[in-house]
A and B are shown apart, each in its own frame.
Chain A
Amino acid sequence: GAVVSQHPSWVICKSGTSVKIECRSLDFQATTMFWYRQFPKQSLMLMATSNEGSKATYEQGVEKDKFLINHASLTLSTLTVTSAHPEDSSFYICSARDLRGGQGYQETQYFGPGTRLLVL
């Protein structure tokens, strides 16, 4: 199957600093990547859809100025948490859509291992 990596796997930062998380598709090109947030013992919440070469699409309630997404190439999307605060502490997971062998709007998403962010 397709492989998606994330870096870093965990990060601790001080309140007010910005943190960048990278998501890479290692063996396929991904025109679309997704960023999720997962709270302890809960399901994944879609934050935004990252499209290569265009602006990201944010879900309702997600602050686009706080969570900056850049999808500069077909294999890399970045999520920057700007001016992070303790309430931003969470597990952030990215996924990439692999359309190889897919049919139209049906696709398989492959997930990265996640990045655990702790803001002090």
Chain B
Amino acid sequence: GDSVTQMEGPVTLSEEAFLTINCTYTATGYPSLFWYVQYPGEGLQLLLKATKADDKGSNKGFEATYRKETTSFHLEKGSVQVSDSAVYFCALSNFNKFYFGSGTKLNVKP
């Protein structure tokens, strides 16, 4: 069945460092791919999405490119801030079902 695998955390970075959180997926057909962010004690917020191969989703300095050939949707940001500390979930949508990765906690230190 469909599934999402993302790198385990926590990931600890210094402010202004480069961020990559890996995400790969398994799916039939043509899924949409998403990154959600969850701040402590809150629900999930949509960060960015891509609906077809080679699409790049971007928001708030974060970006991810839908790579069908490598079945990946890695999240990147050139310069992280302390306020980016949160848990990041990669997800896919396919045939009316949503599948989430296990989440990666990001800690950004000043």
Residue numbers of A with Cβ under 8 A of B are 1, 6, 32, 34, 41-44, 46, 93, 95, 103, 105-114, 116
Residue numbers of B with Cβ under 8 A of A are 30-32, 34, 36, 41-46, 49, 51, 89, 93-96, 98, 100-103, 105
Q: Distance (Å) between the CB of B75 and the closest chain A CB? A: 16
Give Cα A59–Cα B100 distance, bound, in whole angstroms: 15
Q: A43-B89, A46-B98, A105-B96 are in contact. Are A111 and B103 (CB under 8 A)?
A: no
Q: Distance (Å) between the CB of A99 and the closest chain B CB? A: 11
How many A-B residue pairs have C-beta atoms within 8 angstroms? Tell me.
55
Closest chain A residue to B4, Cβ basis? A43
A108 near B93: Cβ-Cβ < 8 Å = yes
Main SS of chain B's interface residues? strand
Q: Distance (Å) between the CB of B58 and the closest chain A CB? A: 15
What 7 pairs between A and B have smallest CB-CB spacing? A111-B44, A114-B43, A113-B43, A106-B32, A111-B43, A43-B102, A105-B95
Return the contact of A42 from the options B30, B32, B34, B103 (Cβ within 8 A). B103
Chain B residues within 8 Å of A42, by CB: 102-103
Return the contact of B32 from the options A41, A108, A111, A114 (Cβ within 8 A). A108
Chain B residues within 8 Å of A32, by CB: 96
Q: Distance (Å) between the CB of A104 and the closest chain B CB? A: 9
Give Cα A105–Cα B41 distance, bound, in whole angstroms: 31
18 pairs of residues in contact across A and B, judged by CB atoms under 8 Å:
A1-B46, A6-B43, A34-B98, A43-B101, A43-B102, A44-B100, A93-B43, A93-B44, A95-B44, A105-B95, A107-B32, A107-B96, A108-B46, A108-B93, A109-B93, A113-B42, A114-B41, A114-B42
